[in-house]
Structure formats: C-alpha cells, structure tokens
Amino acid sequence: MKIVLFDIDDTLLVCGNETNVNASRKMFKQVFEIDADEDMIDNKGKTDKQIIGEVVALVKGCSSIDEVKIPSEAFQVWAETLEDLLNLHPARILPGITELLDALSKKANVLLGLLTGNSPSRAKIKLENTKLEKYFKDKSGLIGAFGDITNIRADLIRITKEKYRGYTHIIIDDSLIGAKMAKDSNVESILVATGNASAEELKEYSDYVFPDFGEGRWREAVEVIENI
C-alpha cells in the first residue's frame, strides 16, 4: 500500500485576497489582543503552531516561542474567521488537482492523506470550501498529520510513518520546507512549483518536479506514483 500525502496551500489550492493573512489578523486580535498577522514572519511551509508562536514571540518580545502559551481557542478562532472570509472569497483549486485526486482515489493500493501545516479545523474549512474534503476523509475524519501539535514540520512525517507502518509514503508539496523534510526523511516526493519556490529550487530535493498538474501533467504524476 502507498499513502500519498498532500500539502494544502499552494499545492491543492490557493486562498486569494489575503484571506489567510486577514483571518490570522482577526485571530491574533481576539485571542492574544495584539495587532499582528502571519505575514510578519516567513511563514511558508510552517505549522500553524509555529506561526502563532513566532508571531506572538516577536510582538511580545519573548526570547523563545517556547514561552508562548497557545490556547486551543486560537486554532478554532482562526478556522472560524477563515470560514467567514472564504464564504466571501472562495479558494481556487490549482490546475490538474481534481483530475489527479480522482485518478488516485480509484486505485486500490493508494490511500490519500494530508501532511499540512494547517490545523485540522483550518484544513477542513479549506477542503470543504473547494469540495476536496471527500478525497481525504474516512469515518474518523481527515486522514494525515496537522500543524496544531508541533512547531516542527518534519515531526509530521514521523507521525504518519508511525501511524501508517508498512505503507510507502509519498509527499506532494510546493514548499522548500516540505521538500527538505521529505528528503531528510528518506521519503519520495513529487514537487510542484505553484508556490513561492521555483522549479529550479525544488529540483535540488526531488527528481519529480512539475510546474503544475494542468495540461495533462497529472497523468505523469500518477505514473510516477505507480512506479514508486
């Protein structure tokens, strides 16, 4: 069996109109009583827990993010404000993603999952908004590892390896953090240059790099997965 683990933002979909930033701003104000947002730091590929910790530490002058206590309310408020904004400005599915997920979901030896910095609640909101949730859920909820439990993105692959022992893990991601995590963990990756990282930068970490999965390139990605 293979488990194919997708990142969400800039891999599966894009949230426009600074939706993520504006949602984070409302969360920081309501929960931490600070004027801040996620773009105050380099947040690409980081977990929600790490993003919150770094921003609060920066604004409050903490010497370490370990000093920042993050209540569960923060993740819930962030998800709720995100949902309100996505109702006004829906997320956009990236090229070829629906076709890729359709094809993989029909394969008996492939399980689809998520490996994302988003908390489960934020992941669910984004996937529901784009009607992609059905590909990544079972009776217990969303499949995968999420960014509300660790400051370290690489911990997520360790978690999925423990949970899905015996599976061949394959990561699909757009970020340099995700690409490095896969390589350092000896996990095969398929990388897509639909985020901030260029194809040339991503090629350092994987033999399988796509500009996107549109124009039939999703078929090539399916073939790669079949041969791993």
CATH of the domain at 143: 3.40.50.1000
Do both 180 and 214 map to the same domain? yes
Say if residue 107 is in the same domain as residue 186.
yes
Same domain, 84 and 105: no
- 154 in the same domain as 194: yes
Whole-number average pLDDT of the chain: 96
Could you tell me how many helices (H) and strands (E) the chain has, helices first? Answer: 9, 10
Task: With CA atoms as reference, report the closest residue to 78 among 141, 147, 145.
Answer: 147
The answer to whether residues 27 and 122 belong to one domain is no
Give the pLDDT of residue 33.
Answer: 97
Instruction: State which residues of the chain have pLDDT below 50.
Output: none
Residue 172's pLDDT is: 98
pLDDT digits (tens, 9 = 90+) for 209-218: 999 999 999 9
- Does residue 100 share a domain with residue 71? no
* The predicted structure's pLDDT at residue 48: 97
Our count of domains for the chain comes to 2
> Of 42, 62, 88, which residue is a domain's last?
88
Q: What percent of the chain has pLDDT over 70?
A: 100
Question: What is the per-residue pLDDT for 16?
Answer: 84
Domain boundary residue, one of 88, 121, 141: 88
| Torsion angle of C-alpha atoms 153, 155, 157, 160, degrees rounded to 10 | -130
Q: What local confidence, expressed as pLDDT, does residue 163 receive?
A: 94
| Same domain (yes/no): 200, 100 | yes
- Domain of 57 in residue numbering reads as 19-88
Q: Where is the domain boundary, 64, 88, 112?
A: 88
Sign of CA dihedral 107, 108, 114, 115: negative
In a shared domain, residues 6 and 28: no
pLDDT of residue 17: 72
Spell out where the chain has E strands: 2-6, 13-14, 92-93, 110-115, 137-138, 141-142, 144-145, 168-173, 188-192, 209-210
Q: Give the pLDDT confidence of 63-77 residue by residue, as tens digits.
A: 889 899 999 999 999
